[in-house]
Amino acid sequence: MLRPLIAGNWKMHTDINHGAKLVEKLRELVGASEDVEVLIAPPTTSIHHLHFLVAGSPIKLAAQNIHWETEGAYTGEITAEMAHAAGCEYVIIGHSERRAYFGETDEWVHKKLIAAVRGGLKPIVCLGESLEEREAGKALEVIATQLKGALKTLAMGVLKDLVIAYEPVWAIGTGKTASPDEAEEVHAAIREQLYDMLGTEAKVVRIIYGGSVKAANIDELMGKPNIDGALVGGASLKPEDFARIVNFEKS
Ligand code: PGA
């Protein structure tokens, strides 16, 4: 049984003041949840300040994106090392919004994955098919291609802290969740591919689900054998809802 990871992706919401209020509330509500790893990914401008505010609590920080280079003329970008120094333990890589709006490719995801490891960040690599691809019966094929493109020939030694997030694009921010069975089918396929690519040590890789996760569906999702946590967007901005998700009860 892997330690579940519940991660809140705040996306481009909240300034420092708003973020500080959310953290204050979350600290009260998630208490010392030792059984579950709790993570928030605030906008870059808030990370360092929130790093001080989460100190002594079980809440950890993630960056929403990094560049793969170590430094250079890349206006608007940050390195893995910068995110790490600002207080991040994790980084989200290849979110479907970055793929759709910022041209992120599997190749970039791969480079960012290497950069994350280099910079001491634990990578959360996002995979997900579009509605069109699902309706064409291609979901598993798309996911397999994305996973292969992200990992290429990297070995388990390098990827020991890897987390995979399965986030069907059609379920993100739409209120439409993949049913627990639909999600489990993809998670099981990802697990199998990880074994094929990385060997049995890949059993430590957590595969978390994202896409309209909320208090009302977390229990059933977490009841599935290959769902090891959740990447939560909208509901992570509501402390009560996020705390309920953290305190899920498997069903
Ligand atoms: P959502 O977002 O929970 O609002 O659907 C999930 C995500 O994009 O990580």
- Do the domain assignments include residue 234? no
For residue 140, how many other CB atoms are within 10 A of its CB?
A: 17
Atom of ligand 1 nearest to the CA of 210: 6
209 CA to middle of ligand 1, Å?
A: 10
Percentage of the chain beyond pLDDT 90 is 93
| pLDDT tens sequence across 40-71 | 999 999 999 999 999 999 999 999 999 999 99
pTM of the model: 0.97
Q: What pLDDT, on a 0 to 100 scale, did the predictor assign at position 175?
A: 81
Q: How far apart are CA 81 and CA 71, in angstroms?
A: 9
Q: CATH number, domain at 149?
A: 3.20.20.70
The residues annotated as belonging to the active site are 95, 167
pLDDT exceeds cutoff 80 at 207: yes
Q: What pLDDT, on a 0 to 100 scale, did the predictor assign at position 4?
A: 97
- Do the domain assignments include residue 246? no
245 CA to middle of ligand 1, Å?
A: 13
Q: How far apart are CA 242 and CA 246, in angstroms?
A: 6
- Do the domain assignments include residue 9? yes
pLDDT exceeds cutoff 90 at 31: no
pLDDT exceeds cutoff 80 at 33: no
Structurally, the chain folds into a number of domains equal to 1
- Do the domain assignments include residue 133? yes
Q: Residue whose CA is closest, atom 3 of ligand 1?
A: 233
- Do the domain assignments include residue 188? yes
176 CA to middle of ligand 1, Å?
A: 11
Q: How much is the average pLDDT of 174-185?
A: 91
| pLDDT tens sequence across 125-173 | 999 999 999 999 999 999 999 999 999 999 999 999 999 999 999 999 8
Kindly state the helix (H) or strand (E) to which residue 61 belongs, with its residue range: strand 59-63
Residues with CB under 6 A from ligand 1: 9, 167, 172-173, 210-213, 231-235
Q: Residue whose CA is closest, atom 6 of ligand 1?
A: 233
| pLDDT tens sequence across 98-116 | 999 999 999 999 999 999 9
**What residue numbers bound the domain in which 181 lies?**
5-228
- Do the domain assignments include residue 239? no
Q: What sign does the CA torsion over 145, 150, 156, 161 have? A: negative
**Which pLDDT band holds residue 34 (cuts at 50, 70, 90)?**
confident
Atom of ligand 1 nearest to the CA of 213: 3
Strands 163-166, 5-9: pairing kind? unpaired
Contact 218, 197 (CB under 8 A): no
Query: End-to-end CA distance of the chain, in Å?
Result: 16
- Do the domain assignments include residue 237? no
Q: Amino acid identity, residue 19?
A: G
Instruction: Map tokens 């960040």 to a residue.
Output: 121
- Do the domain assignments include residue 110? yes
